[in-house]
Structures are given as structure tokens and as C-alpha cells.
Amino acid sequence: MKSVKILGRTNLRPRQIERLAAICDLEVFESNVLNRSIDEVIRRADNAEIALINAFTPIDRRAVGSLPALRAVVSCSAGIDHVDLSACGEAGIRVFWFPGYSARTLAEKTLAFILMGLNRILPAVQSVRTGEWDYLAFQGREAPRRVVAVLGYGATGRIVRELCESLGFLVETVNSRTPSDDIRRILKQADIVTLHLSLNQKTERYLRKETLRMLKDDVIIVNTARGGLIHDRDLVDFLRGHPQATAFLDVLATEPMPTNSDYRDVSNAVVTPHIGWNSVESDARLADQTMQKLIDLIEQPVPASRGTAK
């Protein structure tokens, strides 16, 4: 029987775990790898032919070189920036993930953040909780003719555009082929900037001092993609200098949010605990897709050997 190891928390159902245990040599680690420790990843994955991981489980070149039995990695995630695809490819390790499984959920939550920002819902709620009742203090803005800049035009970005246009927003999109002059124009005219980019060397810290200074004083920024797309220190400075702006951040470069994070002291930064992907429908979809991929891999013949990562 093939050796399969689940290296951290996943959304597989108990009945799915039971089925896997019946068709493979299964070991399950129910807690996530602490501090993204490569040493712990190597320890947990030792002798595994198939490793099931989540977005908090890194597989780097050292891990690849230290796990000679490994033939396939399945990640319960829409992105794959936590896995060194080059090292895996050189070693003959196949990598699978599930882009788009949560696109609808992410898009709907993005729209919710946009509408909350335009209508100043959270500061109004906070005001009432302190005992105030000022119905003139939280004037909103309507959607028609407001410009939404959708940065990243994959599965989620397309649905965000569809939802926003249905409400009368004017939508501008940016992808990897958008000219720099067009990007600057879009950022300058945007009332809302929402991030849906993959995280890589070109997009890391996409929103930083140079791009933030192009934005309007009352811009709404939404990030439901990857925390590394934003330079945190620069965004904090921008928000403090532009009290009418708002940032809705569902993802951070460091998660959970550190106790000393500057975002805790910035009233116009709204942080949620990486819930953008999570709905009843997307959770079930990911579990089913993950389970089917594992079954396919378990039933396939395993190569006798693989290449060695350099």
C-alpha cells in the first residue's frame, strides 16, 4: 500500500479519512506545522510517497532533497507559493492544487468589503457601541460610476468584475500584460483597489510607497489574495496619513496577526482572520476535489525512482 501522510489540518471529512485509511498506509498530523518549520515538515513527511499539505506547510528545495520517497504533493489551497515548484519538478515530484475552488466565495466577500467601505458600516457600528447615535456622521457613497481597480484577472477577479458591474461600478482590470502607463492611470482614478494577484517575485509588495502615493485620499483597499502583495509598513503609513481611506485585509504576510502589529492601532484598517475562502460550498468543494485527487494518485502506479533535486 502507498504511504500517504497528511501533514497538517485539512478540510477532509472523517468519512473521507476513513476511506483513505482503507486504501493506503495513512498517517495523519492534525495540527499545523509551527512557524512553517522545514525541519518539522521533513520529520512529518519522512518516507511518504504522497504528502497532503495546506497553505501553511512549506515544501522547499531542502525538503525535496530530504524526502527521497516523495512522489506527489497535494495542497489544499488555491495558490501554491508555499511550494518550490522548480525543485519539485527537477526531482520528478508532481504537485497539485486547486485554483478557483473558492473563487465565488472570495468574490462575494470582496464585494461585501467594498460595500461596507463605501457605506462606512464598521465605524457606524463602532460608534453605536460606544453609546453615540450620530446619523449624519457616516455618509456613504453609491456604487454607480465608482471605479473599481481589479488587480489580477483570474477566476476570482472575473467574478468580482461581474458582481461589481451588476451594481453599476466601472471596472478596470490589471493583469501581467497591462502596460505600466495603464496601471498608473487605473490606480490614480480608482475609488476601490482590490487585489487578486498570485504572489511571486514580480507581484510581491505590489502595493508599496510608490504605488500607494498614486491612490485617492479616500480609496478603499481590499486584499483577499495574499498578504505578501502589500508592504505593511507603507500601508500603515498611508492609512495614518489618509484617515478617509480604508483597508480591508483578510490576509497578512504573517499569520496569525502578531500581537504587536501596527494594524491593531490603525482605526481605518479592518483585519479578518483569512476567512475569504471559507464558505459551506467552497469547503465541501475543496474536500471533494482533494479526495478525488488523492484517490487518483493512490490508484496510479508509482515510479520506481525519481530524479534528484539539485
Per-residue model confidence as pLDDT tens digits over 182-217: 999 999 999 999 999 999 999 999 999 999 999 999
Judge residue 85's burial from the number of C-beta atoms within 10 Å of its C-beta, 0-12 exposed, 13-18 middle, 19 or more buried. middle
Q: Helices in the chain by DSSP H: which ranges?
A: 14-23, 38-45, 61-66, 85-91, 103-118, 121-129, 155-166, 180-189, 209-212, 232-241, 280-299
Which range is least confidently modeled, 64-78, 102-116, 141-155, 293-307? 293-307
Numbered ranges of CATH 3.40.50.720 in the chain: 3-99+281-299, 103-271
Report helix, strand or coil for 87: helix
* Domain 103-271 annotated CATH 3.20.20.80: no
In this prediction, residues 149-169 reach a mean pLDDT of 97
Examine the pLDDT at 310 and tell me if it is beyond 80: no
Interval 99-134: pLDDT, tens: 999 999 999 999 999 999 999 999 999 999 999 999
Amino acid at 203: T
H helix or E strand, kind and range, residue 82: none
In the chain, helix, strand, coil percent, each to 5? 40, 15, 45
When the pLDDT of each residue in the chain is averaged and rounded to a whole number, the result is: 95
Report helix, strand or coil for 66: helix
In this prediction, residues 54-61 reach a mean pLDDT of 95
Examine the pLDDT at 285 and tell me if it is beyond 60: yes
> What count of residues does the chain have?
310
Q: What is the CATH code for 3-99+281-299? A: 3.40.50.720
Determine what percent of the chain is predicted with pLDDT higher than 70.
97
pLDDT at 301: 80
Q: Is the pTM of this model over 0.85?
A: yes
In this prediction, residues 268-295 reach a mean pLDDT of 97
Examine the pLDDT at 8 and tell me if it is beyond 60: yes
In this prediction, residues 40-52 reach a mean pLDDT of 98
Q: What is the distance in angstroms between the CA of the first residue and the CA of the last residue of the chain?
A: 29
pLDDT at 308: 47
Q: Which residues lie across from 269 on neighbouring strands?
A: 247
* CA-closest candidate to residue 234, choices 255, 218, 259, 213: 213
Q: At 303, is the pLDDT very low, low, confident or very high (cuts 50, 70, 90)?
A: low
